[in-house]
Each structure stands twice: as C-alpha cells, then as structure tokens.
Amino acid sequence: MTDIWGIVNVTTDSFSDGGRYIDPERAVAHGLALQDAGADVLDIGGESTRPGAERVDPAVEEQRVLPVIQALAARGIVVSIDTLNASTAAAAVRAGARIVNDVSGGLADPGMLAAVAASGADYAIGHWRGPSSDMYARAEYLRPSRDVAGELRKRVAEAAGAGIAPSRIILDPGIGFAKAGSQNWDVLRGLDDIVGLGHRVLIGTSRKRFLAETLGDDGASEERRDLATAVTSALAARAGAWAVRVHNVAATRDALAIAHAWEG
C-alpha cells in the first residue's frame, strides 16, 4: 500500500499552516498525532516554499527543525527533512533524519548532492525551475509530463554522478512548482512518464492552489482542499505513486484504504 508522508511545517509563513507549529513542542506533538493517524514518514520543514516565499537563513532553519527531528527520530519514527540547503540536510541527518526531501533536486544549493551522497540518506528529487519568488514565470511546457520526466532524468544523472545510488532516489514531479493550474493536471494524468523512470515516486498535491481553482466557489476552505487531496492521492497511488505527502493524514489514509479495497 502507498506510504503516507505527514507534513510538519515548523515555519511562520507556509501557505496552509504557517505559524501553527513554530514552537518545537507543538511541532513534535503534531508529528506524533500524524503518526497516530497513520503517517509512515514525517516530513519536517523549516522554510516555506509557497509561491512568493522568501528564503530563510540556514541557521534559522536549523534552529527550527533540528529539535523536532531529534525528538521524533528518538521515538523510532522515520523522519524526512524538507530543505533546499546542504548544511541543513547534513545536520538533519546527523539529528536522525533518514530522507532528504529537496524540492529543487539539488539546483538551489550546489553542495546538496555531495552532502546527501556523504550522508547515506535517501534523496527525494523535486522538479524545480527556480525559486518560489518567481517560479510561475518559468511555467512553459510542450507536454508537461514528458518535459518534467526529462528534466528529472537529468537530475537523476547528476545525483548518480555525485555518488547517490539509484536505490536511494525518490522522484517528485513538483506539483505546484513552476506549473500553472492545468499543467499540474497534465503531469498527474501523465504520471506514467515519471513512474517509468524506474524510481520511487512521491506525489504532493496537499491543499495546493490548483485544487482550489478546480473546486471553485469556496474551494479555498481547508476541509474541501483536504477532500480533494485525498482523492488525488488515491488516484496517484493507483497510477503507481510510492508515497503521497499530505497535511491531513487521516483523510488520505481512509481514501487509500477504500481504493485498495476496491482493487481487491
């Protein structure tokens, strides 16, 4: 069955829950609640990558995430660090993280690939075309799913050249990153192009803008976005996704269970 990654944003400005879990104790409690709800991995982030977000100094990022990672990893929980920074990735792995989730796929920090290679952690490579502050200006594709697959293939080659074994690589097509609304649907419909690259695939649609745009009216509400997230996560699992990354673990767990029962 598809793994579920629970999101723990230790940030002040994440688009959905910025500021809720900036206190380490609250972040740890939230992570434990997500695990109880069925999360297989907890993805801890200290810098928002929402559209228009500004960068955070790595020292501030580490101050936010390391106590949370240490506390959760000490309980035997599989923890991922969501970061663009090589120094944060290395410090997080030393603190107990087993996965580095880099939405830039090594493009934001030239030291990232070497840091991950030396760490021994698994590496989630995101599709990225530039910083969140202006990423939509780069949203030009001929065929989104094939273009994204081709660009991810290049990042895999770079990672391999840095010494990261294929078995350690996870691919994320970067839903919402440098992609307009309809382009996200094109990537999801063409998920075979990314799955066909032969690596584990991580899908993150959780509460993203393109879902609200599709729902219309009051689609911006958290409840409706969570329902849409659960549906897209179940469909992604059916299309071959190895894991889905979500805010509402319980809703997605239920959707995956029903889809699994349907398929027998």
Q: Catalytic amino acids?
A: 208, 245
Task: Quote the distance between the C-alpha of residue 143 and its chain's center.
Answer: 23
- With 0-12 CB in 10 A as exposed, 13-18 as middle and 19+ as buried, what is 154? exposed
Closest alpha carbon to 172 in 205, 139, 211, 213: 205
Contact in structure between 47 and 55 (CB atoms under 8 Å): yes
Which amino acid, one-letter code, is at 197?
Answer: L
User: CA 28, CA 31: separation in Å to the nearest integer?
Assistant: 5
Pairing of strands 99-102, 79-82: parallel
Structure tokens given for 30:
């939230």
Q: What is the b/e burial string over 55-91, where b = at least 16 CB atoms within 10 angstroms of the residue's CB?
A: ebebeebbebbbbbbbbbbeeebbbbbbbbbbbbbbb
User: CA 15, CA 19: separation in Å to the nearest integer?
Assistant: 10
- Kindly report the length of the chain: 264
User: CA 172, CA 211: separation in Å to the nearest integer?
Assistant: 18
CA–CA distances in Å: residue 12 to residues 43, 45, 56, 72, 158: 16, 11, 11, 21, 33
